[in-house]
């Protein structure tokens, strides 16, 4: 992928032209066959050669804007993330789902969330559902391949039943929060503590980001090296509520907007903890054989409706660069995220061009680890290891941003359809090769392309599982006790 100059002087990826159109099979078949063959081959070769699979550390930030990293031209200081990007593979066209829960589910399963009912919204604090337990997920695959597995940070894949919790899903240890949003100092959601070590509710003082970094460092320090380590480090920064220690706020005296200053401070705190983790890896002699992945879980939030359960006011602070809109939408600003992979001496420094989606991480990491995915259901993810290892171009030519009962967004080559099928309906068609900011709707000019892509969406919709959020929302809404006035108040008013 080439880079173009934005009006503000920063650089943005120029989307590829000339990709071939594919059939419905391309959207729906996934990468299972390609992945299975590649994984089996790598696993057999690694065992025969006596090679040790790498440690894998997967780091996710929470609601971080595309531009809000130093290497994308931000005024926010992220030297440790920047160093990983400069020395590794910058994934220039990496897509996530529009919101927290769906992205985390897609990462864990290698399957679009529409396959198992997590495509709409997020699991609310009062929700009783979670990632279905029949889904075979990343830590299970890596654990069966001989990895030690640890999870630190935000889970958000089910909290109401212990069967959904991290240690029931393949992690040897868990430290962090189960729900989607917590107070970063009090570690509470709606006044209820949400801070665990394994299955034990604990009470600790400290800023969540710092505590997550310290725990990740402890996991690495305690690792005995007899087996490779998989560490999933999911920060809650910079998700609302916007909070940060004074020492980090003081780093940005020139940012006048209070929310933007706090948001920047939260990202810098996270970057410092990534630096702490890198230092411990080096001290333990593990850095050279450790693959690190970093991504945001979705685009930065630009609309209060998607900011979470905390009250926000004024202009929201995230910056998605030249891309339209943000979290909660299937426009590029909500789904195209900063992402990188770094493995010294194995992954060359440079750009990996072409589309990549978070569902691709399960098959790609399984190839690296020599893990079997025979227990997985049909994958949507594709093995991207060859493109990453060679700083090449990915083989992906289609993408399902999301499909739910009211809308569908897909991409075929450079053509992107955004279809809101409810009333009033809205149909938008964009050519991302010439219009990455999605400013020019080509739907009326290209009715044939629209019709064909709408057909793809309808075919996908016939295969999707209904969203679990809808019946849950109905239950939460109509199962809530009445909120009625006291009789005394009515009497006083009438008097």
Tell me the per-residue pLDDT of 393-415, one tens digit each, with 9 for 90 and over.
Answer: 999 999 999 999 999 999 999 99
Catalytic residue among 15, 72, 156, 357: 156
Exposed/middle/buried for residue 214 (C-beta within 10 Å: 0-12, 13-18, 19+) = middle
Tell me the per-residue pLDDT of 96-147, one tens digit each, with 9 for 90 and over.
Answer: 999 999 999 999 999 999 999 999 999 999 999 999 999 999 999 999 999 9
pLDDT for 369 equals 98
Report d(CA 318, CA 65) in Å as an integer: 5
Q: Percent of the chain scored above 90 by pLDDT?
A: 81
In this prediction, residue 341 has a pLDDT band, given cuts at 50, 70 and 90, of very high
Report d(CA 143, CA 146) in Å as an integer: 5
Q: Does 9 score more than 50 pLDDT?
A: no
Of 380, 305, 337, nearest to 25 by C-alpha is 380
Is 187 catalytic? The answer is no
**What are the percentages of helix, strand and coil residues in the chain, rounded to 5?**
35, 20, 45
Q: How does DSSP classify residue 327? A: T
pLDDT for 35 equals 46
Q: Percent of the chain scored above 70 by pLDDT?
A: 87
pLDDT for 491 equals 53
- Residue 297's CB is within 10 A of a number of other CB atoms, namely 28
Tell me the per-residue pLDDT of 198-221, one tens digit each, with 9 for 90 and over.
Answer: 999 999 999 999 999 999 999 999
The pTM assigned to this predicted structure is 0.91
7 or 228: which carries more pLDDT confidence? 228
Sign of CA dihedral 249, 253, 254, 256: positive
pLDDT for 7 equals 39
In this prediction, residue 81 has a pLDDT band, given cuts at 50, 70 and 90, of very high
pLDDT for 37 equals 40
pLDDT for 479 equals 77
* Averaged pLDDT score across all residues of the chain: 90
Tell me the per-residue pLDDT of 17-62, one tens digit each, with 9 for 90 and over.
Answer: 334 444 555 676 555 444 444 444 444 344 334 568 999 999 999 9
| Angle, alpha carbons 18-19-22 (nearest 5°) | 140
Catalytic residue among 72, 100, 159, 223: 100
390 or 52: which carries more pLDDT confidence? 390
């Amino acid at each position: 992928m080439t880079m173009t100059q934005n009006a503000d002087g920063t650089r943005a990826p120029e989307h590829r032209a000339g990709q071939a159109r594919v059939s419905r099979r391309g959207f729906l078949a996934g990468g299972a066959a390609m992945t299975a063959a590649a994984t089996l081959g790598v696993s057999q070769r690694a065992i025969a050669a006596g090679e040790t699979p790498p440690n894998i550390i997967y780091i996710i930030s929470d609601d971080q804007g595309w531009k809000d990293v130093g290497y994308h031209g931000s005024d926010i200081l992220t030297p440790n993330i920047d160093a990983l990007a400069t020395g590794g593979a910058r994934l220039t066209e990496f897509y996530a789902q529009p919101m927290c829960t769906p992205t985390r589910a897609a990462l864990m399963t290698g399957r679009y969330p529409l396959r198992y009912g997590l495509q709409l919204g997020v699991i609310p604090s009062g929700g009783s559902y979670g990632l279905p337990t029949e889904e075979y997920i990343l830590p299970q695959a890596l654990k069966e391949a001989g990895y030690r597995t640890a999870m630190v940070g935000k889970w958000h894949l089910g909290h109401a039943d212990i069967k959904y919790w991290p240690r029931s899903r393949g992690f040897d240890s868990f430290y962090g929060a189960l729900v989607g949003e917590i107070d970063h100092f009090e570690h509470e959601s709606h006044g209820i503590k949400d801070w665990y070590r394994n299955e034990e509710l604990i009470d600790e003082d400290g800023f969540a980001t710092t505590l997550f970094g310290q725990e990740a460092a402890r996991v690495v320090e305690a690792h005995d090296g007899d087996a490779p380590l998989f560490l999933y480090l999911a920060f809650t920064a910079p998700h609302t509520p916007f909070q940060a220690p004074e020492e980090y706020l003081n780093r940005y005296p020139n940012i006048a907007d209070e929310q933007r200053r706090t948001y920047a401070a939260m990202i810098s705190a996270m970057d410092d903890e990534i630096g702490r983790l890198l230092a411990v890896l080096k001290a333990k002699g593990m850095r050279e054989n450790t693959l690190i992945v970093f991504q945001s879980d979705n685009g930065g939030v630009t609309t209060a409706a998607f900011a979470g359960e905390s009250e926000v006011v004024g202009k929201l602070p995230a910056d998605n660069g030249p891309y339209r809109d943000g979290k909660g939408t299937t426009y590029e600003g909500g789904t195209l995220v900063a992402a990188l992979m770094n493995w010294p001496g194995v992954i060359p420094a440079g750009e990996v061009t072409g589309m990549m989606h978070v569902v691709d991480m399960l098959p790609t990491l399984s190839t690296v680890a020599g893990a079997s995915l025979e227990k997985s259901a049909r994958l949507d993810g594709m093995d991207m290891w060859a493109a990453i290892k060679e700083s090449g171009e990915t083989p992906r030519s289609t993408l399902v941003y999301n499909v739910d009962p009211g809308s569908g967004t897909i991409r075929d080559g450079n053509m992107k359809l955004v279809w809101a099928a409810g009333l009033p309906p809205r149909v938008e068609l964009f050519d991302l090769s010439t219009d990455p900011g999605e400013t020019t709707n080509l739907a009326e000019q290209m009715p044939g392309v629209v019709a064909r892509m709408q057909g793809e969406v309808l075919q996908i919709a016939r295969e999707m599982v209904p969203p679990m959020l809808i019946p849950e929302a109905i239950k939460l809404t109509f199962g809530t006790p009445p909120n009625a006035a006291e009789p005394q108040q009515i009497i006083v008013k009438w008097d």
